[in-house]
Amino acid sequence: MPFVTVWLLVLVPAAFACWCFAGFVLRWREQGRLLATTMVPAVAAAFYLYADYWTKRIAPAEPGWDIFFALVCFFTGAFTVVASLPVYFLAERSLGGRAA
């Protein structure tokens, strides 16, 4: 399977689980559920990639590759926010009234 497909198959259930946890267990309002649904998976994805890079890192031949990979991890987190935002809107539309 392509990497993006696997990423979304893990990301969508994780974002929905974060929404359910924030909505039903923590009883957060809309803004808190939005942050939980989008930022928790984004930070987890970016941190996972960065930690994976540092554990397998060898000294680079040219300086600057660490910054390049840090930017790649940052953009991975940003794309994770974009991908998990529809999960938030669908969850709010279908279950938002029950979580409040």
pLDDT, tens only, 35-73: 999 999 999 999 999 998 888 887 766 778 888 989 999
pLDDT of residue 2: 78
HSE-up of residue 35 (Cα within 13 Å, Cβ side): 5
Nearest to 49 by CA among 79, 70, 65: 70
Token pair of 79 as six digits:
């794309």
Percentage, residues of the chain above pLDDT 70: 96
Radius of gyration of the chain (CA): 16
Domain count, the chain: 1
The parent domain of residue 47 ranges over 3-99
pTM: 0.86
